Amino acid sequence: MERKLNNLQPNSIWNYFEAICQVPRPSKHEEKIIAFLEAFAAEKGLKIKKDEAGNVLISKPASAGFEDRQAVVLQSHLDMVCEKNSNVEHDFMTDPIKPYIDGEWVKAEGTTLGADCGIGIAASLAVLADTNLQHGPIECLFTVDEETGLTGAFALQPGFFDGKVLLNLDSEDEGEIFIGCAGGIDTLANFPYKKEKVPAGFFPIKLSISGLKGGHSGDDINKGRGNAIRILARFLWLAYHHYGIRLAKISGGNLRNAIPREACAIVMVQNGYKENLVADFNIFKHDIAVEYALNEPALKIDHGSTNPTEFVFDDASAINLINALFLCPNGVQSMSSRMPGMVETSTNLASVKMDVDNAVVVTTSQRSEIESGKIMVADQVMALFEIAGAKVRHSDGYPGWTPNPDSPVLKIAVDTYKKLFGNAPKVRSIHAGLECGLFLEKYPQLDMVSFGPTILGAHSPDERLNIASVKKFWEHLVLLLSNL
């Protein structure tokens, strides 16, 4: 396993990426990566400023002969999704990411790699550091907390940067240029329950779902991947109606913008039904394996004995929760009529967590390229949860980015790509959320495109960055800057 990236080309961008991997940067805890940027700017003699939210702007003058060009903003976000495999010990607040080379890819050891958006940060730093590039004035904007709330983009104030052209470096498909994105909103439900003593004659069984691919709840929502919470709820519903199980514990998923890879529950079943429940579970396990054979070959569905619990949920609360999880809409809701092949509206059942106040918190996220579609599916989820007795609220949400096929910067981006590689890039919108919609609210004059190298498995420990695509991404960025 080759762990050093310093032999990869282009050397500058890979060296910065490897350095960034050494700096912990969970969402809402970007202070260490901000200090890294401050040290970088001081070393290079570049102007740097920071706003109250923590967003950072590093500016570089135009190269000789390009002083009359327009200022260009290179934008990336500082935080990363912090996901790890359950058998991996890793503290994202203190431990570095451990990248390694696996054939054509760079991966991380048991965790997310943080190429989303670490490779965008690295590209910006490489541009700032390179004294041989040709470009007009450069402003590199680094925003905070993109992954869990877009709070940096929300807090960005007019006048923080001057450029009227913005290149967002947070896309994950080389050869594709994005000119639009979905807006999003979260719907959160709080299911209260009462604790009851475990009835006599009941046996504890732990049910678990693991090994799923997970992935980005926007970009991967149309790929037929399993949702661990939905699979678990499906069996819990059957077990409740057939055997009157009592629910003791339940958990699944982690982040609002990731498809849940794992879920588990502890249930209590009457001793006389234990063998029947296990037999039904094995049948269920087989059925699910067949259903997901192509898309989820590593899926694991397990049961086993566990330590008895002292309490279970009251029966009414348990079935309300199970019904809601079983019925909750999940996945693609509609496809786009404006951009064929693109998801228009979706929803993701993201996480289920027990809190200390005798309640279960269920987090879901909805996305759509149409504002009314986003609100409709969010309200549908709210209505279902309210019927099940939960206290429900929506997050503030964020706007989408409406495509502009006549964008001048898009034309230059397409032409330079053709010149470099002999074929035209795909121009499309993305179902994932980008910060561009929020930028337009503060800077309505902006002309924007988004592009980047190929990243697969973002938001999961399977995240991997294609090595060859980084070279093409860098070459395109360099030529584009010289033509703007």
CATH code, domain with 115: 3.40.630.10
Find the catalytic residue in 146, 262, 296, 369: 146
In the chain, the N- to C-terminal Cα span, in Å, equals 41
Residues 242 and 387 in one domain: yes
Distance from C-alpha of 67 to C-alpha of 18, rounded to nearest angstrom: 32
112-158 pLDDT, tens per residue? 999 999 999 999 999 999 999 999 999 999 999 999 888 999 999 99
Q: How confident is the model at residue 28 (pLDDT cuts 50, 70, 90)?
A: very high
The answer on 382 and 404 residing in a single domain is no
Are 363 and 474 contained in the same domain? no
Whether 317 shows a pLDDT value over 80: the answer reads yes
78 occurs within a structural domain: yes
Residues 414 and 351 both lie in one domain: no
CB neighbour class for 6 (10 Å; exposed up to 12, middle 13-18, buried from 19) = exposed
* Same domain, yes or no: 190 and 178: no
Percent of the chain residues topping a pLDDT of 70? 100
**Distance of alpha carbon 452 from alpha carbon 456, whole angstroms:** 12
* 332 within some domain: yes
How many structural domains compose the chain?
A: 2
> Looking at residue 256, what is its pLDDT?
85
Number of residues written out for the chain:
484
Q: Within this chain, do residues 105 and 71 fall inside the same structural domain, yes or no?
A: yes
Please name the helix (run of DSSP H) or strand (run of DSSP E) that holds residue 208, with its range, or none. Answer: strand 202-210
Domain ranges, residue 131:
11-182+400-483
pLDDT band at 216 (very low <50, low <70, confident <90, very high): confident
Is residue 174 part of the annotated active site? The answer reads no
User: At which of 372, 394, 416 does a domain end?
Assistant: 394
- What DSSP line would sit under 160-185, residue for residue? S---SEEEE-----TTEEEEEE-EEE
Asked which of 345, 372, 394 is the last residue of a domain, the reply is 394
Same domain, 198 and 79: no
Identify the band that residue 371 occupies on the pLDDT scale cut at 50, 70 and 90: confident
Residues 225, 279: one domain?
A: yes
What does pLDDT average to over the chain?
A: 95
> SS3 for 60?
strand
Alpha carbons 168 and 171: distance in angstroms, whole number: 8
pTM of the prediction? 0.74
pLDDT exceeds cutoff 80 at 93: yes
Interval 453-473: pLDDT, tens: 999 998 889 999 999 999 999
Residue 62 DSSP SS3 = coil
Q: Are residues 162 and 193 in the same domain?
A: no
Q: Which CATH number do you get for residue 262?
A: 3.30.70.360
In a domain? residue 50: yes
SS3 at position 151:
helix
Give 349's strand partners.
364
Question: Would 5 be classed as within a structural domain?
Answer: no
Amino acid in position 259:
I
| pLDDT score, position 1 | 63
Instruction: Answer whether residue 116 is part of any domain.
Output: yes
Neighbours of 273 (CB within 10 A): 17
Query: Is 79 an active-site residue?
Result: yes
Asked if 174 and 263 sit in the same domain, the reply is no
**The pair of three-digit structure tokens given for residue 397, joined into one six-digit string:** 């949400």
Domain boundary among 340, 363, 394: 394
pLDDT of 249-279, one tens digit each?
999 998 888 999 999 999 999 999 999 999 9
Choice among 18, 30, 79, 83 that is catalytic = 79
Q: C-alpha angle 317/221/460, rounded to 5°?
A: 85
- Same domain, residue pair 388 and 477: no
Average pLDDT score over residue span 352-369: 93
What is the signed CA dihedral for 314, 186, 259, 441, rounded to 10 degrees? Answer: -170
Distances in Å between the alpha carbon of 369 and those of 185, 206, 343, 346? 12, 40, 8, 10
The reply to whether 348 and 442 lie within a common domain is no
